[in-house]
Structure 1
Amino acid sequence: MRLKFTHESFNDLVRLREFIAEKNPSAAEKYARKLMSTIQNLIINPELGKILDEKPDVRELVAGNYIVRYSLRGDIIYILKVWHGKEYR
């Protein structure tokens, strides 16, 4: 299995890191590393997230305070969207 980030999910990661870095750059680095580590766990266990009722081809993984939506297609895990749990989506 391998990970592939959509343009939107990559921008989400950048946006989240920049938001934290405005107040605490070292915390931004810490949270970014932890989030990426959790996402990389999908390579070993791609069915870790729950299947969404409204979109059965999409899964949702809770990664600390963050939500990661992804889709499995063959041997590729597409990261679709990433946001903080307190954000309105």
Structure 2
Amino acid sequence: MWKIVIAVAIVWFAWRTWHGSGRLPGTPIPPPAPPMGEAEAKARALLGIDASAGEKQVREAHRRLVSLVHPDKGGSEELTRQLNAARDTLLKG
């Protein structure tokens, strides 16, 4: 009886190890994302982009959002300022 319990425990542990990681065995582990400051995190949230987005994605997100809320199109000056500040924060770093 104890042999069955040990065998089941080994199979369960192997299954959890392989399936719990979310990646196939032998695939490289991606490097961790660099730590973000609070201002950068807020800027990325405002623009709706993730931490891995590069300069091109930042500019595209900014352009898309500003085209929707620009004061010339009846939008808000304050929101346009916030979007511009978010873009500048992300492109300086």
* TM-score calculated relative to the size of structure 1: 0.29
Greater per-residue strand proportion = 1
Query: Which structure has the bigger radius of gyration?
Result: 2
TM-score, structure 2 length as denominator?
0.28
